[in-house]
Amino acid sequence: MIELRNAGYRVGSRTIVDTTDLEIEPGSFTAILGPSGSGKSTLLDLIAGRLAPTSGLVWIDGAAPGSTSARVAPYTLLDEPEAQLEIARQYEVFATFARLASVGAGIVATLRSVDLAALFADRVLLMNGGQIVADGIPSVVLQPRFLQSVFAPPCTRGRFVRAN
């Protein structure tokens, strides 16, 4: 199991990933969604051991990521694997990920595509501002109220003035 306990990552005074508690079991496909700069890739880097948390702990099957005792064979970590793939190939690749999860692999992927997460993931983490703002099954997390709060730009009422 992948475990994060109060894990966070800061650069100077800037928080990239806020303190996070998270458990990811093998045999599931977890999609991490959020806008650019939300902390998705940094969270994945913490799990992979490419970054050391500046607070808290990260374990894979009870060992620190990257240590010789950490078992990474049952987990596949992917950063935006749909990028640069044609739509038909995206579906083929993600169907393969879902099959791997169904036979015991733990798949964790950052995604830009809400529809791929909805179709193939067992669990969705929705991130914004370095925090996980929603976590659960796709039918719950991928609701308009959550998606709009993360992806919709702030709007103000204004008046359009036509230049002469």
- pLDDT at residue 159 in the model: 59
- pLDDT at residue 158 in the model: 59
- Report the mean per-residue pLDDT for the chain: 89
Higher pLDDT, 84 or 30: 30
Q: Which domains does the chain have, with CATH numbers?
A: 2-151 (3.40.50.300)
Q: pTM here?
A: 0.86
User: CB–CB of 127/133 below 8 Å?
Assistant: yes
Residues 6 or more apart whose Cβ sits within 8 Å of residue 106:
2, 24, 25, 26, 27, 28, 30, 74, 75, 76
Q: Pairing relation of β-strands 2-11 and 14-24? A: antiparallel
| Partners of 107 in the β-ladder | 29, 76
Whole-angstrom distance, CA of residue 74 vs CA of residue 152: 36
Query: Above 90 in pLDDT, residue 79?
Result: yes
Give the residue-averaged pLDDT of 41-47: 94
Whole-angstrom distance, CA of residue 7 vs CA of residue 43: 9
pLDDT tens digit string along 50-72? 999 999 999 998 888 876 555 55
